[in-house]
Amino acid sequence: MMNFLQEVAIQCPYCGEHITVVADASEAGQSYIEDCEVCCRPITLKLSISATEEISIEAWAENDA
């Protein structure tokens, strides 16, 4: 069974730093906003889950959405 909370590494679209976010995989296709822990700017995140239960997150800047 899949662990619903997983850490996923992303790159901040503002400062370019690699950060880790905790993804809630209980609902695929969800979008939410989380602040970058380095530059504090809001990152829009969209969670996807593959058929093999691999989590991926798309991250983009607020104005790019």
Average pLDDT over residues 14-22: 95
Q: What is the pLDDT of residue 2?
A: 55
Residues comprising the chain, all counted: 65
Query: By the 8 A CB rule, do 61 and 14 touch?
Result: yes
List, for residues 29-61, the tens digit of each pLDDT value: 889 999 999 999 999 999 988 888 788 899 999
Q: What is the pLDDT of residue 10?
A: 95
**pLDDT level of residue 1 (50, 70, 90 thresholds):** very low
pTM: 0.79
Residues 6 or more apart from 39 whose CB is under 8 A from it?
12, 14, 15, 17
14: closest CA among 42, 53, 33, 52? 42
Secondary structure (3-state) at 63: helix
Q: What is the pLDDT of residue 17?
A: 97
- The one-letter amino acid code at 10 reads I
